[in-house]
Amino acid sequence: MILTIGLEIHIKLKSVNKMFCQCKNQQNFDDLVPNTNICPVCTGQPGALPTLSEEVLEKVLLLGKALQCTINETSAFDRKSYFYPDLPMGYQITQLYHPTNTEGQISFFLDNYITEKIVHLQDAHMECDTGKMIHDGNQALLDFNRAGTPLVEIVTKPDFSTTEEVIEFLKELQRIVRFNDIADADLEKGQMRVDVNISLRKSESDPLGTRVEVKNINSFGMIKRAIEHERIRQEKIYETEKIFTQQTRGRNDVKGESYLMRSKEDALDYRYFPEPDLPPLKIDKKRMERLNGKEITIPHHIIKKLKEEYGFNKEYINALIGDKEVLDYFFTILSHCEK
């Protein structure tokens, strides 16, 4: 059977302040005392109003340019309403209907930098993060330091057919945001979170199969295992000719299994509607001119140069592309040699 995969990637932006308030946008919460980096805005107190961070907007636009997105002159925010203990406002501010960055694509290498592939993007939209719930025995502890921190959710088209494609795409995306100082995108620290949408079909001419979304994935190895496990699980279901509904599943990597979180029938009704406390976002010509004047580093282009112009093998390329400081040092030394 043919495997089809799409991704939803949440990346925490690297900015001084949170998305809609002046609280510090801490990158490592292990260094912060719980519930100390909060204010009336990010904890949803009555009468507190959000104000979009200028730096967050600049990072989002820079990412849009790096991902070859269409940057819309007018975009808007929406409320995604649901009730959960780690969501202090009772809703999340996001961009469902009119994202700032739409379409786009990422090029990357496969087969040790031999084959090239392009994956197309649906959008790269802004949204603020929730707080964090910590389960400790019979207690549920809440830390709102993360609430209101800025995210970009990148939604791909279902262009993947192998786990290798998924992993190499994510590595290139991680390099893009790191090389351009948009985000640190450390999976283990929760700065980059991946949801994988997986379906099977018998042939290319068939419509896409029933989609299953697997959440709670925080490493490249875990992503590989989650995809392979879900592929086998769905194949067994199809062999019995049973019918299953579109569903969302969690991943327990220790047990090597997934579990049902919700099916389409009992999916949450988020009651999206335009965010009343934020006006439409207008990107004026001066801002676009400044954006167009900024240089973007595309790792895929660098890899191609190292491979084609310098004839480097995969080991040399990996050594250089894995660390931006080492790469910059290499090109600095190279510039002196060429003189």
- For residue 50, the model assigns a pLDDT of 96
Q: Predicted confidence band at 242 (pLDDT cuts at 50, 70, 90)?
A: confident
Query: For residue 265, is pLDDT > 60?
Result: no
Residues 38-71: pLDDT tens digits? 999 999 999 999 999 999 999 999 999 999 999 9
- What integer is the mean pLDDT of 85-106? 95
| Residue 104 located in a structural domain | yes
- What integer is the mean pLDDT of 178-198? 94
Residue 121 CA, distance from chain mean position: 11
- For residue 31, the model assigns a pLDDT of 80
**Per the structure, how many domains does the chain have?**
1
| Residue 187 located in a structural domain | yes
- For residue 90, the model assigns a pLDDT of 92
Lookup: tokens for 298: 């595309």
Tell me the average pLDDT of the chain: 93
- For residue 339, the model assigns a pLDDT of 57
H/E stretch holding 143 reads strand 139-143
| Residue 71 located in a structural domain | yes
- For residue 27, the model assigns a pLDDT of 80
- For residue 336, the model assigns a pLDDT of 82
Q: Predicted confidence band at 117 (pLDDT cuts at 50, 70, 90)?
A: very high
Q: Predicted confidence band at 267 (pLDDT cuts at 50, 70, 90)?
A: low
- For residue 73, the model assigns a pLDDT of 96
- For residue 264, the model assigns a pLDDT of 65
CA dist., res. 287 & res. 100, Å (int): 14
Query: For residue 241, is pLDDT > 90?
Result: no
Residues 313-326: pLDDT tens digits? 999 999 999 888 99
The three-state (H, E, C) secondary structure of 146-172, written as one string: CCCCEEEEEEECCCECCHHHHHHHHHH
| Residue 126 located in a structural domain | yes
Q: What is the pTM of this model?
A: 0.93
| Residue 308 located in a structural domain | no
- For residue 153, the model assigns a pLDDT of 97
Q: Predicted confidence band at 136 (pLDDT cuts at 50, 70, 90)?
A: confident
Do residues 159 and 6 touch, judged by C-beta distance below 8 A?
yes
The parent domain of residue 35 ranges over 2-279
Find all residues with CB under 8 Å of 149, minimum gap 6, and list them: 12, 13, 18, 19, 25, 26, 128, 129
| Residue 162 located in a structural domain | yes
- What integer is the mean pLDDT of 70-87? 95
| Residue 290 located in a structural domain | no
Do residues 100 and 64 touch, judged by C-beta distance below 8 A?
yes
| Residue 206 located in a structural domain | yes
Q: Name the more confident of 262 and 79.
A: 79
